Amino acid sequence: MRTAWRRKRQPPPSGPAAAADNAAVTTVAAPLSLADALDAVLPQTQCTRCGYPDCRAYAEAMACGEADIDRCPPGGAEGIVRLSDITGRAVKPLAPERGAEGPRALAVIDEAWCIGCTLCIKACPVDCIVGASKRMHTVIDAQCTGCELCVPACPVDCITMVPVTGDRTGWAAWSAADADAARGRYDFHRFRVDRAARENDERLAAKAAAKLADLPAHTQHTDPAVIERKRAVIEAALARARARQAPSAEPKKDAPE
């Protein structure tokens, strides 16, 4: 039987108080989109082996018919069956060019070789690597999704992937609770990165605006023509920064819970 992805209709409010406050109003939960349903059954490792930047992007590609259901090695054969149930597409083997289904693996850092470059920290989509610049890094095992993105990021090859689930592979080595937790950490990772980029842009823009307000005092040049050319360069840079921010000029979102 094909899996349904629509949420149940909620019953209308009942009781005298509810009737008085919500007369003739029926609350109906919004149905899940096809992309939402597909994303809900992906393992959320954010490994990018499907060829998309994250699990959500892959779900959207499947929903619009751009991608097939055979591109997720972490989900394995069981994952393909789940995607088939939702889409109605035929079950097929995992696409070999996307990798092979295997046991869940954890990233392990050889602390004796770690140089504290922080590149693996930046590569991790779920923020499960902790450390500081020029200090030893370590992986929080319980939060590692086994995405392997930290491995190529390491310039001294001190990260290895160690299988930890024995013969269990795919969804037999990964639970729905694991996927939900990984999704939450990835959502916060994206929020944190976007916030840091926005704050950095705002800081640089404020610094440029301060210089622009009194440019003669912030330059060693005395030639008015040179100062005006410098002013034009700064104004153009500020205009580009405002243009970059314009598409996302929406209320700032709270951090994911």
Which residues touch 55 (CB under 8 Å, ≥6 apart)?
A: 39, 42, 43, 44, 45, 46, 183
End-to-end CA distance of the chain: 34
pLDDT of res. 87 = 96
54 in the same domain as 81: yes
Q: By percentage, how much of the chain surpasses pLDDT 90?
A: 63
pLDDT in tens, 24-43: 444 455 567 999 999 999 99
In a domain, 186, yes or no: no
The domain boundary, picked from 98, 125, 158, lies at 98
- Which of the residue ranges 1-5, 82-86, 115-119, 245-249 would you say has the lowest mean pLDDT? 1-5
- C-alpha 40/C-alpha 43 separation (Å) is 8
The domain total for the chain is 3
- CATH code: domain of residue 143: 3.30.70.20
Paired with 147 in beta bridges are none
- CATH code: domain of residue 85: 1.10.15.40
In a domain, 10, yes or no: no
Mean pLDDT of 183-208: 89
242: containing domain: 198-248
60 in the same domain as 44: yes
The domain boundary, picked from 73, 98, 123, lies at 98
pLDDT of res. 15 = 55
In a domain, 120, yes or no: yes
